Amino acid sequence: MSDAISQLNKINLQQTTFSDLKKFLFFKEIDEFNLQKTIDTLIFYAAGRGETVWNKGLAGNHLLFLFSGRLHVIDISENGHASTFDFVTPGNYFGELAIIDGLPQAATLIASETSTYALMPSFHALELIYGNPRISEQIFKKLAAHVRQASSFRNILGIPNAFQRVYALLNHLSKSSLSGLVVIERLPTQQEISVMINTSRETVSRAIQVLIQSGVVEKDLRRLIIRKPEALREKLNASKFFSE
């Protein structure tokens, strides 16, 4: 195991059960025998807020499964600029690209809140991926979603006006809930948004306040309710925007 991972605090959790793993879509179609083999390979860790889970360039020796908390997926350029382009949330996994192509990890993972996760050795992950067509299908769909998301973020970053980038990101993150509301669950912090779209936290704050004051959105703890989705899209497409 690499130094970057071995320096983390290994934690002792109650024995992982089949039902714990079945919460992950990755394991839905795996039989009991292979689930037990999987449990035996997992090593659990905890990361505090702001702690680096692994760095870009780390050997792709493990697949990560997040049980609680949230992780930033950050790309750090050669000049040291960091940009957040995704999050890992509970029930999801990360690291499949490096597992498949054998190249180093393409991103840095940092805990945005206290998180618990497990690492699975690459040899066992590959056995599951290549031995189960349903898991392979999931991997293909996940990789395709990454490509589409990367394209969307490139388009957002190409918008010259900062307020417009905020509106575009909020529109991108919003989803229809079971209740019929359009919401962003677990809204990224203003600092996280500012890193994602290459602007200042103050600009993000002012742009969101404009939406709140006009009744387009409503904050509900960590959730943002889009009360007027059409109005948000109109602001996104309008010709005049506030500048930084």
Domain of residue 46, CATH code: 2.60.120.10
Query: What is the rounded distance in angstroms from the CA atom of residue 20 to the CA atom of residue 67?
Result: 9
Whether residue 222 sits in one domain with residue 164:
yes
The predicted structure's pLDDT at residue 15: 56
Whether residue 229 sits in one domain with residue 123:
no
Number of domains in the chain: 2
Question: Could you give the angle at the alpha carbon of 76 between the alpha carbons of 69 and 101, nearest 5°?
Answer: 80
Whether residue 167 sits in one domain with residue 149:
no
The predicted structure's pLDDT at residue 38: 86
Domain final position from 153, 169, 194: 153
243 within domain boundaries: no
70 within domain boundaries: yes
Give the pTM. Answer: 0.76
244 within domain boundaries: no
The predicted structure's pLDDT at residue 244: 45
Whether residue 88 sits in one domain with residue 18:
yes
The predicted structure's pLDDT at residue 177: 84
Whether residue 184 sits in one domain with residue 84:
no
Residues of the chain with pLDDT under 50: 1-14, 239-244
The predicted structure's pLDDT at residue 153: 82
The predicted structure's pLDDT at residue 215: 94
162 within domain boundaries: yes
The predicted structure's pLDDT at residue 94: 93
Whether residue 189 sits in one domain with residue 131:
no
Whether residue 79 sits in one domain with residue 169:
no
> Residue 33's domain spans which residues?
3-153
